[in-house]
Structure formats: structure tokens, C-alpha cells
């Protein structure tokens, strides 16, 4: 057949796995090959410059401009030895993804020739032509230009022939135009707040680190099949498609054997990741067919975010090499498990203590309980904001679906930790704590068994679950920059810890014993944040009602959820922790609403086109065939017999007529809805209008199309079907 669908299916079946050669060295040797890490700094920088760089990286010392030239010279030497010709500031604009502008090292030498040049000035600061990046009017409001500035805490790396320099991207007046700047501020805020709280328990803590271990889920689709689906190509997801007879009911894909072509892709990706110092560790099949997951060992949060951004672009590149396309969309296939990016998050102190892990003594467990309860306080007070931080037009399709967390933020603790908190809540403080002569004290916090660390008691769909020594924020979607969630979470945590310390200190100042003061405040907080704790079935209707009663945010509309960034409590929190000010928040929300509108707009256009140009013609074609058949029956059979024998075909002819008519009607309404929405000046209102009037039409159109897919002759259908997209690899 000259049907593209069958051509690409046939080709896909013929493809073989690429042969990926593993480097001859061991991973520990090629790890970080393309990164200007400490080892290379030591080799390429003068000793005093190296020491200063380490001080900047480890202790947050200010970057002295005077060392920039020497650092740049060392970097340039290494880069040239590696065959690099260009450099770029690499930054994370508010659209998802990263941006870069490449410049060659060469400059005129003034004598008619060229010379490789890379100065400290070029390393430290640049002015990307950034007018094309969304900025929510920040630059209109504040200052015409923005600049990118080096983030020395994240090492530079090489991609192909280019030296990439991680940078923040800010307006000249200091407002953040990216994700990294507020992330660094949030990390700074939580470091300070946690360090202060640590003083109650330890006297040797000088720094608290934020840990992030993300888990990247994704789908792989054969490139040929992908290109025969304009919806995947243009929007990253299928806008139509009936579930295949075999889905994920069998769960046989999960941890099953990884197919050869995919295995080769993974191997290639892992080698390249390790060369870029991304510490990838686990790979496995996910729940859905053709869905997979990759996770590194956790790292310092800022670095982990950069590594995830880098990994996502690497995945796209490597997938193409292997004849695949990687789908990072949160819900590429309706009715099938979506993709998330679980963010495993914890705090650890520089004395080696993991603050979210239980200890072996009652004092240590008091510290553990403190960090757990204050995390819950942060999540409770800002559950709407945290939801906003992970919400997007694309993730909205995933939340609440198969295997995904519901769109209400709550926290699952497991039975053991729940018992401990209940004990604290119900006991009198003086029962929990006794001064026992000279020997000091006794804290009656039940021993927290090691079992908690290996927590098997898991509720896999909880949006924010305690998993032994960390919280796993499961709501973030697979396509996003985790910085968005990390900014909100860390800033909220900083606020909770600051408030905690203030209240404890007030009691101590009144002469109360420290432990007594800690326990009293904790007891209050356990009660306050109780509504956020939920161990039940998040999918049930009762939970939605119950959550609303508890005062948790149960809103479903994405553009309305974004409003939480401008809640009084959010502004206060971001301003008091110096992470973002009100104007930045307002401007960033404009970007969010704008991106929402654009996403839905493109989807609506693509769906309208496909419906009119692919689906209706194909359905009509099939209908004509049926009509001919019915007419033919009349020629070969007596009228009554012919009629009886054509009953089914007559029904189909009618059904096709009705469905195509409805599709035409709905597409017209869809276009009208867009037109009306587009006339709304205010971007916030426009986004809401898109959500309320455009999206429902898309769903209705899809329903009709999916029904047609079931009845139209398979040989005529032009778009690769779910079973082909999902089971061919």
C-alpha cells in the first residue's frame, strides 16, 4: 500500500540495534572526561588560583574578578587540547530546556591573522541577545537588557566542539529571568535556616547541603512511526488514538527484559552521561510499554538540576542516533501511564549527618523529627504553591491518571513515622521529656527502627512521600526543569525552619530548657500540619472532598493553580527568604500563562487540521466503500435479502456520517473558541478561557475520532496506531 503508516511500520521492524562500543577504560576513568572538574582545575590552574576557586565552590566565597582571567586561561588551554573551538554561556530560560549562544574562540590578532582568545571577562559575563526569551515583561518593566553570569559552583563542560559555561540569566536591575538564579537563592536560604536549626543539636555544622536525586521517565518511539504522527511531532503527545487491545494490564514490561535497540540506546546514553560526570546508575523498564527510566546517584541540588537539563538534551541527541525519538511529554498516550520526574530531596549537614534520616539516639531522633515535621509544615502551608510549581499544560494530563499522583498535594509517611508523630501529638510534653538528675535527660520518642530507612511500606502514588531518609516529590513531570519545584520547596523549607527557630528561641529566652522548648514547638507543629498527612487512596472521590475540608488545594484548572504564586502567603515567603520579589513573581506568572496558552493553541490547531485533513477523508473513503457494497448487494440479491444482509454496513455508514458531522461541528466550535479567547487582552484571563472553552472541545473531538478508528478499515487508517507506537522497538 502507498499508506505511509505501513511503510514506516515495515521499516521499523527491519531496524537493528546499533553496536555501541564501550570505552576501553573503566567508567571510573572516563567519568567526567568532558568536565573541567577539580582534578583538571588542579592541573590547569596556578595553585593560588585553584585554592581560591575551591573556596568559591565549597564555601560560597565571592568570586574575585581578578582570578577570572587566570581561570579562563586554564580552561582555554584544556579546551583547546580537547579540540574545542567555541564557547557558550549555557542558561535555563523560563521556557523549558536550555539556551546557548556560541562564539568562536578566535579573534583578530591585529596583524592580519587570528588568535584563540578567551578572557576572564568573557567567562564571567555576557549579554545574550535574549529578546526572544519569554520574560513576562520583566525587561519592559525593569531594564532593557539582561546578562548571563557564570555560576562557578557548576563546572564547565564540553559538548561537541563547544565549551559550555553554566550561567544564571538576570536583568541588569537584578531580577531573575531564568530558573538558576532563584534556585541558587533558595538553596542559600535553606542552607542558612537549616544550619541555624542544626545548632540545637550539633556544634560542628557549618554548612547544610540540599540533595536532589531525580528519576527521569521517558518513552521511546521509532523515528519513522513518530514522523508519521503530526501530533507527536508538533505537540509531543498523541492528540488521538484508541487504546490498543493489549496495554499495560499485564505489567509485564516493568523490570522485564530491555529490548536490544533500547539497550543499545541506553548504553550509549550512559557512557556519554558519565563522560559528562552525570552519575547515572539505574535503568529499567517502566510500567507502560516502551516507557523507561533513568536515575543517577543524588547530588547537590544545583548540580543535579544542571545534570538533568544536560541529560534531557543528551537523550534527544542519542535517541536520534539510534533511530528513536524520545518523548519527554508527561502524557504522550491517553489511558497509559504517564511520565514523571520524581525528585528525591533531603538535607545533609557537613558533619556527615543526613538530616532527614533517623539516628540511633533519642537526641538524634529529635533532630530527625524536627526536620520531618518542619518539612511537613512547609508542604502544608504552601501545598497550593507547590502544586503550582509542578503544574503545566502538559503535566495536567498526567496528574490523577494511571500510576501518577493525584492533583492534590499531600504527604505519605508510612505507619512507623505516623505512629511516632501521633505519639508526640497525644503525649504531654512533660511525659515526652524528663530531666533526670545530672545524667541529663530522657526523651520519650519511640525508637525509630532501621526498617524506616528501607521503607517498603510505600504508597507509590503519593505526591510527596517519605521514603526512609528523604522525601520523594513525585508530582513533577518528566519534561520540566526540576528547579521549579526545588525553588518552591527549598524556599518554603527555609521559611518553616526560620519560623521554627524563632519560636524555640523565644521559649528559651523565657528560661525554658532547650529540649523542652523544641518538643513543645514540635508538638504544636505536628498538630498544625496534620491535614497534609494522608496515607489513603488518593484517587477516590472521598479524598477530594476530605482534602477540601482540610483546606488543601483541590483546584484542577492549570491557569488557576498558577495564581498561587501570587498568594499573599507565597509572596511573603519568597520575599522573606529573598528568593524572589513580587515583581519577579508577577512577571514569571505571565510567562507561565503565556506558555499555557501557546501549548493549548498549538494542540488545538494540530487537532483541527488532522481531524479535517486526515480523519474525515479517511472515514469518508471507507464510508464510500461501504455504500458501494450496499448498492452491489442490491444487484446480486433480491431487495429484502440485500437489505437484511446489509444491516451492519448500513449502521456503519450512518455512524460514520454522524461522527464526521459532529467532528466538523466541533472543529468549527473549537476555532470559534480560540478566536474568542485570543481577543482577551489579559493573559491570565486568556489562559483561563483557553482552559475552560478550548480544552473541552479537544476532548470531545478526540472521543469521536477514537470511535472512528475502531470502525474504519485498518488498511485505510493513515496514522500509526497505539499498538504500533507502543510495541515496536
Binding stretches for ligand ADP (CB under 6 A) = 211, 213, 215, 282, 295-298, 344-346, 354, 469-470
Q: How far is the CB of 293 from Mg ion (least distance, A)?
A: 8
Beta strands in 320-436 (DSSP E): 324-327, 341-349, 411-412, 433-435
Q: How far is the CB of 356 from ligand ADP (least distance, A)?
A: 6
Residue 353 vs 694, nearer CB to ligand ADP: 353
Q: Checking phi first, is residue 478 left (phi over 0); if not, alpha (psi -120 to 50) or beta? A: alpha
CA atoms of 719 and 185, how far apart (whole Å) = 47
CA atoms of 355 and 347, how far apart (whole Å) = 6
Residue 215 vs 306, nearer CB to Mg ion: 215
Measured from each CB, the residue nearest to ligand ADP is 213
Per partner kind, with CB cut-offs from 5 to 8 A, the member of ligand ADP, Mg ion, none near residue 282 is: ligand ADP
Q: How far is the CB of 485 from ligand ADP (least distance, A)?
A: 13
SS3 string, 6-17, reads HHHHHHHHHCCC
- For the residues of 604-658, what is the DSSP string, one character each? HHHHHHHIIIIIHHHHHHHHHHHHHHHHHHHHHS-HHHHHHHTHHHHHHHHHHHH
Three-state secondary-structure class, residue 435: strand
Q: How far is the CB of 469 from ligand ADP (least distance, A)?
A: 4
Residue 215 vs 495, nearer CB to Mg ion: 215
H-run or E-run covering 518: helix 514-528
Sole window of 258-266, 340-348, 372-380, 664-672 interacting with Mg ion (rule: CB under 5 A): 340-348
CA atoms of 539 and 557, how far apart (whole Å) = 17
Residue 474 vs 533, nearer CB to ligand ADP: 474
Residue 357 vs 670, nearer CB to ligand ADP: 357
Q: How far is the CB of 372 from ligand ADP (least distance, A)?
A: 13
Sole window of 157-165, 208-216, 529-537, 573-581 interacting with Mg ion (rule: CB under 5 A): 208-216
**Spacing of C-alpha 196 from chain mean position:** 30
Beta strands in 391-470 (DSSP E): 411-412, 433-435, 441-443, 464-466
What the block records as the C-alpha cell of 214 is 531525580
CA atoms of 345 and 211, how far apart (whole Å) = 6
Q: How far is the CB of 669 from ligand ADP (least distance, A)?
A: 44
In this structure, the strands spanning 86-91 and 162-171 are: parallel
CA atoms of 192 and 669, how far apart (whole Å) = 54
CA atoms of 418 and 86, how far apart (whole Å) = 55
Sole window of 214-222, 266-274, 499-507, 513-521 interacting with Mg ion (rule: CB under 5 A): 214-222
What the block records as the C-alpha cell of 262 is 533500547
Residue 100 vs 472, nearer CB to ligand ADP: 472
Residue 329 vs 342, nearer CB to Mg ion: 342
Residue 41 vs 347, nearer CB to ligand ADP: 347
Per partner kind, with CB cut-offs from 5 to 8 A, the member of ligand ADP, Mg ion, none near residue 178 is: none
Burial (0-12, 13-18, 19+ Cβ within 10 Å), 131: exposed
Residue 158 vs 280, nearer CB to ligand ADP: 280
Per partner kind, with CB cut-offs from 5 to 8 A, the member of ligand ADP, Mg ion, none near residue 5 is: none
Residue 215 vs 603, nearer CB to Mg ion: 215
Sole window of 141-149, 212-220, 529-537, 546-554 interacting with Mg ion (rule: CB under 5 A): 212-220
Residue 248 dihedral angles phi and psi, to the nearest 5°:
-110, 20
Residue 451 vs 650, nearer CB to ligand ADP: 451
Q: How far is the CB of 602 from Mg ion (least distance, A)?
A: 31
Work out whether 139 is an interface residue with Mg ion (CB under 5 A). Answer: no
Query: In which residue are the cell numbers 482577551 written?
Result: 680
Q: How far is the CB of 385 from ligand ADP (least distance, A)?
A: 22
Q: How far is the CB of 52 from ligand ADP (least distance, A)?
A: 30
Residue 460 vs 549, nearer CB to Mg ion: 460
In this structure, the strands spanning 464-466 and 411-412 are: parallel
Are the C-beta atoms of 248 and 289 separated by less than 8 Å?
A: yes
Sole window of 209-217, 354-362, 497-505, 529-537 interacting with Mg ion (rule: CB under 5 A): 209-217
Query: In which residue are the cell numbers 515496536 written?
Result: 728
Helices vs. strands in the chain: H and E counts, helices first: 29, 19
Residue 342 vs 381, nearer CB to Mg ion: 342
Torsion sign (Cα): 298, 304, 305, 307: negative
Per partner kind, with CB cut-offs from 5 to 8 A, the member of ligand ADP, Mg ion, none near residue 623 is: none
Measured from each CB, the residue nearest to Mg ion is 342
Sole window of 213-221, 548-556, 637-645, 686-694 interacting with Mg ion (rule: CB under 5 A): 213-221
Q: How far is the CB of 193 from ligand ADP (least distance, A)?
A: 18
Query: In which residue are the cell numbers 429484502 written?
Result: 640
Three-state secondary-structure class, residue 669: helix
Q: Which residues is 212 bridged to in the sheet?
A: 299, 345
Work out whether 341 is an interface residue with Mg ion (CB under 5 A). Answer: no
Q: How far is the CB of 476 from Mg ion (least distance, A)?
A: 11
Per partner kind, with CB cut-offs from 5 to 8 A, the member of Mg ion, ligand ADP, none near residue 296 is: ligand ADP
Q: Which residues is 150 bridged to in the sheet?
A: 167
Q: Which residues is 513 bridged to in the sheet?
A: none
Work out whether 342 is an interface residue with Mg ion (CB under 5 A). Answer: yes
- # binding residues, Mg ion (CB under 5 A): 2
Residue 396 vs 465, nearer CB to ligand ADP: 465
Closest CA to 201 of 372, 353, 364, 440: 364
Per partner kind, with CB cut-offs from 5 to 8 A, the member of Mg ion, ligand ADP, none near residue 346 is: ligand ADP
Q: How far is the CB of 452 from ligand ADP (least distance, A)?
A: 13
Per partner kind, with CB cut-offs from 5 to 8 A, the member of Mg ion, ligand ADP, none near residue 295 is: ligand ADP
Query: In which residue are the cell numbers 512521600 written?
Result: 465
Per partner kind, with CB cut-offs from 5 to 8 A, the member of Mg ion, ligand ADP, none near residue 56 is: none
Q: How far is the CB of 583 from Mg ion (least distance, A)?
A: 37
Interface contacts to Mg ion, rule CB under 5 A: 215, 342
Amino acid at each position: 500500500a502507498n499508506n505511509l503508516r505501513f511503510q514506516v511500520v515495515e521499516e521499523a521492524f527491519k531496524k537493528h540495534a546499533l553496536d555501541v562500543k564501550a570505552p576501553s577504560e573503566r567508567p571510573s576513568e572516563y567519568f567526567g572526561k568532558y568536565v573541567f572538574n577539580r582534578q583538571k582545575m588542579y592541573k590547569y590552574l596556578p595553585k593560588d588560583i585553584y585554592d581560591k576557586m575551591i573556596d568559591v565552590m565549597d564555601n560560597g566565597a565571592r568570586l574575585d574578578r581578578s582570578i577570572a582571567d587566570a581561570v579562563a586561561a586554564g580552561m582555554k588551554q584544556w579546551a583547546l587540547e580537547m579540540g574545542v573551538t567555541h564557547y557558550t554561556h549555557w542558561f535555563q530560560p523560563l521556557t523549558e530546556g536550555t539556551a546557548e549562544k556560541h562564539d568562536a574562540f578566535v579573534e583578530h590578532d591585529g596583524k592580519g591573522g587570528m588568535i584563540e582568545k578567551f578572557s576572564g571577562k568573557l567567562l564571567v559575563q555576557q549579554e545574550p541577545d535574549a529578546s526572544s526569551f519569554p520574560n513576562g515583561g520583566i525587561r519592559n518593566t525593569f531594564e532593557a537588557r539582561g546578562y548571563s553570569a557564570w555560576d562557578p559552583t557548576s563546572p564547565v563542560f564540553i559538548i561537541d566542539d563547544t565549551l559550555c559555561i553554566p550561567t544564571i540569566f538576570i536583568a541588569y536591575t537584578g531580577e531573575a529571568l531564568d530558573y538558576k538564579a532563584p534556585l541558587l537563592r533558595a538553596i542559600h536560604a535553606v542552607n542558612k535556616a537549616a544550619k541555624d536549626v542544626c545548632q540545637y543539636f550539633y556544634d560542628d555544622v557549618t554548612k547544610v547541603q540540599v540533595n536532589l536525586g531525580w528519576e527521569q521517565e521517558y518513552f521511546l518511539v521509532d523515528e519513522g512511526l513518530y514522523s508519521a504522527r503530526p501530533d507527536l511531532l508538533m505537540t509531543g503527545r498523541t492528540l488521538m488514538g484508541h487504546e490498543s487491545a493489549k496495554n499495560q494490564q499485564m505489567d509485564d514490561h516493568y523490570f522485564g527484559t530491555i529490548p536490544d535497540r533500547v539497550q543499545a540506546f541506553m548504553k550509549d546514553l550512559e557512557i556519554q552521561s558519565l563522560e559528562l560526570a552525570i552519575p547515572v546508575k539505574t535503568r529499567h523498564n517502566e510500567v507502560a510499554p516502551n516507557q523507561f527510566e533513568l536515575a543517577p546517584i543524588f547530588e547537590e541540588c544545583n548540580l543535579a538540576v544542571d545534570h538533568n537539563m544536560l541529560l534531557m538534551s543528551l537523550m534527544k541527541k542519542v535517541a536520534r542516533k539510534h533511530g528513536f525519538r524520545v518523548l519527554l511529554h508527561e502524557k504522550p498516550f491517553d489511558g497509559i501511564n504517564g511520565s514523571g520526574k520524581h525528585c528525591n530531596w533531603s538535607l545533609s549537614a557537613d558533619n556527615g549527618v543526613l538530616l532527614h534520616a533517623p539516628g540511633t539516639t533519642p537526641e538524634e531522633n529529635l533532630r530527625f523529627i524536627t526536620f520531618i515535621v518542619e518539612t511537613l509544615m512547609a508542604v502544608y502551608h504552601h501545598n497550593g504553591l507547590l502544586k503550582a510549581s509542578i503544574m503545566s499544560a502538559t503535566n495536567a494530563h498526567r496528574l490523577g491518571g494511571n500510576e501518577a499522583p493525584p492533583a492534590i498535594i499531600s504527604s505519605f509517611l508510612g505507619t512507623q513515622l505516623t505512629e511516632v508523630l501521633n505519639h508526640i501529638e497525644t503525649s504531654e510534653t512533660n511525659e515526652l521529656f524528663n530531666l533526670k538528675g545530672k545524667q541529663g535527660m530522657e526523651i520519650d520518642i519511640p525508637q525509630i527502627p532501621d526498617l524506616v530507612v528501607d521503607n517498603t511500606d510505600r504508597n507509590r502514588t503519593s505526591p510527596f512521600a517519605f521514603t526512609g531518609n528523604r522525601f520523594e516529590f513525585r508530582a513533577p513531570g518528566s519534561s520540566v526543569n526540576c528547579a521549579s519545584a526545588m525553588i518552591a520547596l527549598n524556599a518554603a523549607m527555609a521559611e518553616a525552619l526560620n519560623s521554627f527557630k524563632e519560636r524555640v528561641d523565644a521559649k528559651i529566652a523565657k528560661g525554658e530548657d532547650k529540649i523542652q522548648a523544641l518538643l513543645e514547638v514540635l508538638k504544636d507543629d505536628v498538630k498544625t500540619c496534620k491535614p497534609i498527612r494522608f496515607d489513603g487512596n488518593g484517587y477516590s472521590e472521598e479524598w477530594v472532598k476530605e482534602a477540601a475540608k482540610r483546606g488543601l488545594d483541590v483546584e484542577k484548572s492549570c491557569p488557576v493553580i498558577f495564581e498561587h504564586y501570587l498568594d499573599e502567603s507565597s509572596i511573603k515567603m519568597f520575599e522573606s527568604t529573598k528568593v524572589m520579589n513580587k515583581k519577579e513573581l508577577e512577571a514569571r506568572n505571565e510567562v507561565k500563562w503565556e506558555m499555557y496558552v501557546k501549548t493549548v493553541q498549538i494542540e488545538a490547531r494540530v487537532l483541527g487540521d488532522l481531524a479535517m485533513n486526515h480523519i474525515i477523508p479517511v472515514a469518508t473513503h471507507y464510508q464510500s466503500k461501504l455504500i458501494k457494497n450496499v448498492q452491489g448487494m442490491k444487484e446480486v440479491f433480491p431487495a429484502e435479502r440485500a437489505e437484511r444482509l446489509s444491516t451492519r454496513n448500513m449502521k456503519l455508514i450512518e455512524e460514520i456520517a454522524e461522527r464526521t458531522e459532529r467532528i466538523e461541528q466541533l472543529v468549527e466550535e473549537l476555532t470559534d473558541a480560540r478566536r474568542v479567547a485570543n481577543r482577551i487582552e489579559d493573559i491570565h484571563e486568556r489562559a483561563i478561557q483557553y482552559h475552560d472553552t478550548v480544552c473541552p472541545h479537544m476532548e470531545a473531538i478526540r472521543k469521536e475520532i477514537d470511535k472512528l478508528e475502531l470502525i474504519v478499515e485498518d488498511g485505510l487508517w493513515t496514522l500509526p496506531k497505539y499498538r504500533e507506537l507502543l510495541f515496536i522497538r
